[in-house]
């Protein structure tokens, strides 16, 4: 649905708000999985669901007509967070699974979430940044929490809210993208033009693409599938601004993605922008981090990425200012533009509808046409 009604927009934003507040960590994605399970169960008559032994999801449509699959949502279900390794009296021990710069740990407040949704609060007292494979912290508990071992702890923030067109929440990366995937896929169900579309959700991305690599090296995903990896990537105001539209990401710090797939999408999005002035999108390299599209490409899959420009990447406020020594390191809620979120959903619809249509002119045809028209200058 390229031009959603107010009711559809509100329904999408409700999913966005709920999903991005769920506690999650690499290897402990259970609460997000439970949400996805409920969502899929409500549509069981239309979808087929497979799970591998790592916890990854592969969702296809029962009405699939045999066309080459387009997996809309190679979105990971984890976010950088702490896993509690022990509790000794009023001291909590935890390892941090993800990437956050050392200064942000100093004196930060944590929320510990128990198996029955109990809550405890703690303040970081020390950081062992050299511990392997993950940084380790000790934290002082505000009240006893003997149940906490094995539980998730995360930065302590207020409830999520939408302010001035942006959602400020615990974990946009990558739960906002997972929300966009669920919304787009749900809207496509029942559309005969979109039966080739599926979902792929992965686990443990924040500790090195572990779920993705597991799926790829075991050929669990069909080899001919086209993968649109969805991400939230650090915004740079003068290059990839929040509010400028979701981003067709052509590469990351590891690699460039499959050119043919990326170029096809760029054509679809450019054509829509000419048709519909309200549609906004960007095309950027986004070299600040790694993306699952690089991992899948490494294993021979056609893959590219659509991402949301992200504020407070990995919950770090003003990374550049902190690195320059201009401000203290403080954690904060991640934020993305709600308009960009709807832009991402629209891009997924456009990809689904247009990925199998031949382009008016391929890049190779363009080159041949230019040569035919202008090679006379070489004579």
Distance CA 277, CA 279 (A): 5
State mean pLDDT over 289-315. 96
The tally of CA atoms less than 13 A away on the side-chain side of residue 67 is 20
75 and 98 in a single domain? The answer is: no
- Asked if residue 343 is part of any domain, the answer here is yes
164 and 302 in a single domain? The answer is: yes
State mean pLDDT over 166-176. 97
Q: Is 281 helix (H, G, I), strand (E, B) or coil?
A: strand
146 and 93 in a single domain? The answer is: yes
Q: Which residue segment(s) compose the domain that 39 sits in?
A: 6-79+160-354
253 and 128 in a single domain? The answer is: no
Q: Is 22 helix (H, G, I), strand (E, B) or coil?
A: coil
- Rounding to the nearest 10 degrees, give the CA dihedral for residues 212, 218, 219, 220: -70
341 and 202 in a single domain? The answer is: yes
Task: Check pLDDT > 90 for residue 3.
Answer: no
Domain boundary among 137, 155, 173: 155
Cα–Cα distance list, 307 to 2, 160, 225 (Å) = 17, 21, 19
99 and 202 in a single domain? The answer is: no
Residue 225: its pLDDT value, please? 95
Residue 24: its pLDDT value, please? 98
pLDDT class for 113, splitting at 50, 70, 90? very high
Residue 75: its pLDDT value, please? 84
111 and 173 in a single domain? The answer is: no
The per-residue b/e assignment along 137-160, b for 16 or more CB within 10 angstroms, e otherwise, is bbbebeeebeebeebbbbbbbeeb
**Per the omega criterion (within 30 degrees of 0), is the bond before 133 cis?**
yes
- Asked if residue 370 is part of any domain, the answer here is no
199 and 108 in a single domain? The answer is: no
109 and 220 in a single domain? The answer is: no
- Asked if residue 216 is part of any domain, the answer here is yes
Residue 73: its pLDDT value, please? 73
- Summarised one tens digit per residue, pLDDT across range 40-51 is 999 999 999 999
- Asked if residue 250 is part of any domain, the answer here is yes
Of 136, 295, 118, the residue nearest 204 (C-alpha) = 295
Residue 82: its pLDDT value, please? 98
- Summarised one tens digit per residue, pLDDT across range 225-253 is 999 999 999 999 899 999 999 999 999 99
Task: Check pLDDT > 80 for residue 74.
Answer: no
Distance CA 78, CA 154 (A): 12
Of 159, 178, 269, the residue nearest 232 (C-alpha) = 178
This prediction has a pTM of: 0.95
Residue 362: its pLDDT value, please? 84
Structure tokens at 303: 């893959």
Residue 360: its pLDDT value, please? 86
Q: How many helices (H) and strands (E) does the chain have?
A: 9, 18
Residue 359: its pLDDT value, please? 86
CATH of the domain at 124: 2.40.10.170
Residue 289: its pLDDT value, please? 87
Q: Which residues partner with 283 through β-bridges?
A: 248
- Summarised one tens digit per residue, pLDDT across range 343-361 is 999 999 999 999 999 988 8
1 or 58: whose pLDDT is higher? Answer: 58
- Summarised one tens digit per residue, pLDDT across range 274-289 is 999 999 999 999 988 8
For the chain, the first-to-last Cα distance in angstroms comes to: 52
State mean pLDDT over 143-171. 97
Structure tokens at 79: 């976010």
Consecutive H or E run containing 177? helix 175-188
72 and 192 in a single domain? The answer is: yes
Burial of 192 (0-12, 13-18, 19+ CB in 10 A): exposed
Residue with tokens 């039966």: 195
β-pairing, 161-163 vs 166-169, is antiparallel
pLDDT class for 135, splitting at 50, 70, 90? very high
- Asked if residue 347 is part of any domain, the answer here is yes
93 and 141 in a single domain? The answer is: yes
- Asked if residue 378 is part of any domain, the answer here is no
Of 149, 197, 196, 200, the residue nearest 28 (C-alpha) = 149
- Rounding to the nearest 10 degrees, give the CA dihedral for residues 48, 15, 67, 270: -170
- Summarised one tens digit per residue, pLDDT across range 311-331 is 999 999 999 999 999 999 999
2 or 109: whose pLDDT is higher? Answer: 109
Residue 157: its pLDDT value, please? 98
Distance CA 3, CA 249 (A): 23
Task: Check pLDDT > 80 for residue 1.
Answer: no
Residue 361: its pLDDT value, please? 85
State mean pLDDT over 258-267. 95
For the chain, what percent of residues have pLDDT higher than 90?
94
> Considering its fold, how many domains does the chain have in total?
2
216 and 331 in a single domain? The answer is: yes
Distance CA 30, CA 78 (A): 10
CATH of the domain at 339: 3.40.630.10
């Amino acid at each position: 649905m390229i031009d959603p009604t107010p009711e559809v927009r509100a329904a999408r934003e409700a999913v966005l708000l709920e999903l991005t507040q769920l506690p999650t960590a690499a290897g402990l994605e259970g609460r997000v999985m439970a949400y996805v399970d409920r969502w899929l169960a409500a549509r069981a008559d239309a979808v087929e669901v497979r799970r591998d032994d790592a916890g990854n999801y592969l969702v296809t449509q029962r009405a699939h007509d045999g066309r080459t699959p387009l997996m809309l949502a190679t979105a990971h279900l984890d976010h950088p967070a702490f896993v509690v390794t022990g509790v000794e009296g009023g001291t909590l021990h935890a390892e941090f699974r993800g990437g956050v710069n050392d200064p942000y740990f100093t004196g930060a407040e944590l929320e510990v979430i128990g198996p029955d949704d109990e809550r405890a609060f703690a303040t970081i007292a020390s950081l062992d940044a050299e511990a392997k494979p993950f940084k380790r912290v000790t934290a002082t508990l505000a009240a006893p929490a003997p149940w906490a071992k094995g539980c998730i702890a995360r930065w302590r923030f207020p409830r999520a809210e939408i302010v001035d067109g942006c959602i400020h929440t615990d974990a946009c990366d990558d739960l906002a993208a997972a929300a966009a995937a669920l919304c787009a896929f749900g809207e496509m169900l029942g559309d005969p033009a979109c039966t080739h579309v599926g979902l792929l959700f992965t686990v443990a991305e924040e500790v090195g693409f572990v779920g993705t690599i597991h799926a790829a090296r075991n050929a669990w995903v069909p080899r001919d599938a086209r993968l649109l990896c969805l991400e939230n990537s650090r915004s740079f105001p003068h290059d990839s601004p929040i509010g400028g539209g979701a981003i067709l990401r052509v590469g990351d710090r590891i690699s460039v993605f499959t050119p043919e797939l990326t170029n096809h999408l760029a054509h679809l999005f450019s054509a829509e922008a000419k048709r519909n002035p309200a549609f906004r999108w960007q095309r950027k390299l986004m070299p600040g981090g790694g993306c699952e599209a690089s991992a899948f490409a490494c294993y021979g899959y056609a893959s590219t990425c659509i991402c949301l420009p992200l504020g407070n990447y990995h919950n770090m406020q003003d990374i550049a200012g902190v690195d320059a020594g201009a401000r203290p390191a403080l954690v904060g809620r991640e934020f993305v533009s709600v308009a960009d979120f709807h832009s991402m959903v629209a891009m997924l619809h456009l990809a689904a509808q247009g990925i199998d249509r031949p382009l008016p002119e391929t890049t190779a045809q363009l080159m041949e046409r230019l040569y035919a028209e202008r090679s006379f200058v070489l004579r």
